[in-house]
Amino acid sequence: MSFAASPSRQRNWDARAAANFVCGGAGGGLIVFAVVAVVAGVSRLALALPLLAGLALIGTGLLCVWHELGRPLRALHVFFHPHTSWMTREAYVAVMLFPCGVAAAAGVPVFAWVAAALGFAFVFCQGRMLHAARGIPSWRHALVAPLLVVTGLAEGAGLWLVAAAWLRIGSQTLLTLFGALVLLRIVIWLGYRRAMATQAPRAHAALDRTSRVLQLAGTLLPLAVVALVAAGLVSGTATLAVVAIAGLAAAASGAHMKFTLVTQAGFTQGAALVRLPVRGVRPAPIAE
């Protein structure tokens, strides 16, 4: 005989908390990819604008979280637990990232590498922060952290391609790297979805629509564009346009996935009693 309380959707993290994962992940990924682009030989003009845009995205996400607090003036309490809280570590990284990012955008070369490392650390903290929610099966799975990290990098690469089209610059190497990130993201996502089908069926159902968006608009479209450009079937000014569309689709689909994962797929585990006591019956020992 068994008794189970039905899992319920968590209400603590709403759209404002999801915005931190959406904006913060994309902003951190954009900073990382902007620095990689300069290393790949792209003009330094493509560094300052993406760096500032990445910082703006991260700041927007943090502002949303601050607004979510019932007592915003207590936000400084987030700095008190660096030994246990990934949210605290994220806050410390953000404090260091903003001055380093501004210095890198101003043209100080050494700070570009520091900003890239901190941008990656920020995205990593976000992945670990969601994974630390042990009471929610769809968040605590081992693939959640790498999924959010790779998604943030893919979103950042996509946004950089949009900025590059506006600045009329580009690189086949960077476009290939973007395609690799998109491909890696869908591989992790499919593995995660397969696990959710058995471990968290309600979360799996809540993610159906976003899965289709991620596979079609977020993966097939960008990879098709990468293939067309690599084959030389698209050239001239049309290349910048189609690459920008692919980058925007990859970023938007990733944002949709993270927003749905936080706000719609966060079902609690629920409570379960494997054996109920029965009056007059001696309980049998539970095998270990």
Query: What are the pLDDT digits (tens) for 58-112?
Result: 999 998 888 776 666 666 667 777 777 888 899 899 999 999 999 999 888 889 9
User: Can you give the pLDDT at residue 2?
Assistant: 39
Nearest CA to 119 out of 24, 238, 189 is that of: 24
Cβ pair 97, 122 in contact under 8 A: yes
- Give pLDDT tens digits for 242-276: 999 999 999 999 999 999 999 999 888 766 555 65
Residue 115, number of CB atoms within 10 A of its CB: 30
Q: Could you say which architecture CATH assigns to the domain 10-266?
A: Up-down Bundle (1.20)
Global pTM reads 0.88
The DSSP element (H or E) to which 240 belongs, if any, is: helix 237-263
pLDDT at 190 over 70: yes
Average confidence score pLDDT of the chain: 87
Q: Is 257 exposed, middle or buried (0-12, 13-18, 19+ CB in 10 A)?
A: buried
Percentage of residues in the chain with pLDDT exceeding 70?
A: 86
User: Cα(124)–Cα(13) distance, rounded to whole angstroms?
Assistant: 19
